[in-house]
C-alpha cells in the first residue's frame, strides 16, 4: 500500500455511538488512531462508548453530544481538535421511517451532511469517508450490482443517500483538495466478537438478523418471513450480508487510502454472495443450537427479490476483501444477544422507549 503522506491520525466519527460507528471506533482505537466522537444519541446511548473503551483498552479522545446540523456546536469541535479526516455515519436509517417522516430524513441525512461539509471547509478539512447504502440501487435488475449500475432510489431514505452522493461528487469535481470515499454498504450485521457491542434496535427490529436473534433469545415469539414467492431457489428474498467488523475494517483501509488520489471514489461493501432469508434462519439455528420459529407472511412493501454486490472494485483498488462469512455473523450476533438479552437496556440505558 504505497502512500504519499502519512495516514490521518485524528479521525472525527459522526454517529460514533451507533451500531456501525461504535465498531468503527474500536477498530480505529485498536489501530492507533485518535478518535473524536459526535453523536446526538437519537438512536444510541452513551453507554456504548464506555464499552468501546473497555474493548479497546484506550479512551476515545473526546465525545460530544450534539446534532451535526448544529453548525456552531460542530464548529467548536473542529476548533478544539486538529481533525485529519471525518468518517460520517450519523444519519437516520430506517426505510419505513423515511416514508413516514420524509422531511426529517432529508433534513438529518442531507442537511446533516451539508452542515458537516461547510464546517469541514471552514476548518480546512477535506478528507471524508461517507456511509452510503445499497438502497440507492433500488429495484435494480437481478445479478451482482457494480458501482456503475444505474441508481433508482425508491424511498426517501435511499433518495437522501443518493442526494448526499451527488453533493459529494459535486464538491469533489469543483474542489480538487477533497478526497471522499463513498462506501455503499449492502447488509452489515453481526457484532464485535467480545459480545460487548452489537446491534440493539429500539422497538421492533426492522432488520432480519436482530429480529432472528431476539426470537432465538425468547424476546419475540417467531420471525415473520416476508414473502416466499420470490423467483429465488427457496422463494425467499436474497441479500448480501457483510460482517460489521469487515465493514468497519474497510473504513480504516479507506482512511489509509485517502492520500492516494483526490476526488470521489465509490465502492460497494458486500461479500458478493447472496443468502436467502431461510439461509439466514438455518445458519442462525445451527449457531444457537435450536430451531428459530418462523411463519410465512406477505411480501414487505418495497422489498425486491435479490440484492447482491459485485464486490470487485474495492478488491481491485485496495486489495481488500471481507474475511468473515454468514456463520461468523450469526455466531457474533448470537453471542451479543445471549450476553445482552435486553440489549444495552439491560445495563445502563434504562427502559426502551417503545417496545
When asked if residue 95 is in the footprint of ligand WQD (CB under 6 A), the reply is yes
232 binds ligand WQD (CB under 6 A): no
Binding residues vs ligand NAD (CB under 6 A): 15, 17-21, 38-44, 67-69, 89-93, 108, 112, 131, 133, 185, 187-188
Nearest-angstrom CA–CA distance, 208 and 187: 10
CA dist 177 and 193 (Å) reads 38
Measured from the CB atom, the residue of 253 and 259 that comes closer to ligand NAD is 253
Residue 224 in the binding site for ligand WQD (CB under 6 A): yes
The conformation of residue 164, written as its DSSP 8-state character, comes to H
Main-chain dihedrals φ then ψ at residue 102, nearest 5 degrees: -60, -35
- Phi, psi dihedral angles at 280 (to 5 degrees): -70, -40
3-state SS class at 11: strand
- Regarding 20 and contact with ligand WQD (CB under 6 A), the answer is no
3-state SS class at 307: strand
Min dist. Cβ of residue 279 to ligand WQD (A): 11
Select from ligand WQD, ligand NAD, none the partner in contact with residue 277, using the beta carbon and a kind-dependent cut-off of 5 to 8 Å: ligand WQD
Tell me how far, at minimum, the Cβ of 291 lies from ligand NAD, in Å: 26
- Considering the complex, what minimum distance in angstroms separates the CB of residue 115 from ligand NAD? 9
Report which secondary-structure segment, H or E, holds 40: none
Distances (CA, A) of 191 to 21, 127, 143, 337: 12, 27, 28, 9
| Residue 279 interacting with ligand WQD (CB under 6 A) | no
The correct pick among 303, 310, 325, 342 for binding ligand WQD (CB under 6 A) is: 303
> Which residue from 45, 133, 179, 232 is in contact with ligand WQD, where contact means CB under 6 A?
133
Work out how close the CB of 95 gets to ligand WQD at its nearest, in angstroms, rounded to a whole number: 4
Annotated active-site residue in 105, 157, 178, 344: 157
CB 44 within 8 A of CB 16: no
Of the pair 97, 195, the CB lying nearest ligand WQD is at 97
Asked if 351 contacts 206 with a C-beta cutoff of 8 angstroms, the reply is no
Alpha-carbon distance of 336 to 192, in angstroms, equals 8
| Residue 187 is a binding residue for ligand WQD (CB under 6 A) | yes
Strand partners, 85: 11
Question: In whole angstroms, how close is the CB of 176 to ligand NAD at the nearest point?
Answer: 26
| Residue span binding ligand WQD (CB under 6 A) among the ranges 110-118, 206-214, 257-265, 320-328 | 206-214
Any idea what DSSP says for residue 177?
Answer: T
The partner residues of 34 in beta bridges, in order of sequence, read 10
| Cβ-proximal residues to 254 (8 Å cutoff; 6+ apart), any chain | 129, 181, 183, 267, 318
Q: Is 64 a known active-site residue? A: no
CB of 177 to ligand WQD, least distance (A): 29
The residues assigned a catalytic role are: 157
Binding residues for ligand WQD, per CB under 6 A?
A: 93, 95, 133, 135, 187, 206-208, 211, 223-226, 237, 239, 277, 300, 303
Amino acid at each position: 500500500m504505497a502512500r504519499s503522506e502519512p495516514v490521518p491520525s485524528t479521525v472525527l466519527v459522526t454517529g460514533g455511538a451507533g451500531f456501525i460507528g461504535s465498531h468503527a471506533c474500536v477498530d480505529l482505537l485498536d489501530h492507533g488512531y485518535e478518535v473524536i466522537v459526535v453523536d446526538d444519541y437519537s438512536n444510541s446511548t452513551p453507554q456504548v462508548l464506555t464499552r468501546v473503551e473497555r474493548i479497546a483498552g484506550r479512551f476515545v479522545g473526546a465525545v460530544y453530544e450534539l446534532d451535526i446540523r448544529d453548525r456552531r456546536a460542530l464548529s467548536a469541535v473542529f476548533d478544539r481538535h486538529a481533525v485529519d479526516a471525518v468518517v460520517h455515519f450519523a444519519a437516520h436509517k430506517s426505510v419505513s421511517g423515511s416514508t413516514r417522516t420524509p422531511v426529517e430524513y432529508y433534513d438529518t441525512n442531507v442537511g446533516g451532511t451539508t452542515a458537516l461539509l461547510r464546517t469541514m471547509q471552514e476548518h480546512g478539512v477535506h478528507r471524508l469517508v461517507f456511509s452510503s447504502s445499497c438502497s440507492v440501487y433500488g429495484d435494480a435488475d437481478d445479478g451482482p450490482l457494480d458501482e456503475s449500475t444505474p441508481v433508482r432510489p425508491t424511498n426517501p431514505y435511499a433518495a437522501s443517500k443518493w442526494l448526499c452522493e451527488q453533493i459529494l461528487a459535486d464538491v469533489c469535481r469543483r474542489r480538487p483538495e477533497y478526497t471522499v470515499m463513498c462506501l455503499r454498504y449492502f447488509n452489515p450485521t453481526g457484532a464485535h466478537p467480545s459480545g460487548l457491542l452489537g446491534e440493539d434496535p429500539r422497538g421492533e427490529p426492522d432488520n432480519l438478523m436482530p429480529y432472528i436473534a431476539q426470537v432465538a433469545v425468547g424476546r419475540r415469539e417467531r420471525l415473520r418471513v416476508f414473502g416466499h414467492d420470490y423467483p429465488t431457489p427457496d422463494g425467499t428474498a436474497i441479500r448480501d450480508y457483510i460482517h460489521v467488523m469487515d465493514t468497519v475494517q474497510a473504513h480504516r483501509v479507506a482512511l489509509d487510502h485517502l492520500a492516494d488520489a483526490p476526488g470521489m471514489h465509490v465502492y460497494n461493501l458486500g461479500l458478493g454472495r447472496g443468502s436467502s432469508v431461510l439461509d439466514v434462519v438455518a445458519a442462525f439455528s445451527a449457531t444457537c443450537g435450536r430451531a428459530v420459529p418462523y411463519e410465512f407472511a406477505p411480501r414487505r412493501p418495497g422489498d425486491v427479490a435479490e440484492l447482491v454486490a459485485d464486490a470487485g472494485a474495492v478488491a481491485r483498488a485496495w486489495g481488500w476483501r471481507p474475511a468473515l462469512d454468514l456463520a461468523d455473523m450469526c455466531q457474533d450476533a448470537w453471542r451479543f444477544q445471549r450476553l445482552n438479552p435486553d440489549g444495552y437496556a439491560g445495563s445502563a440505558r434504562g427502559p426502551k422507549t417503545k417496545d
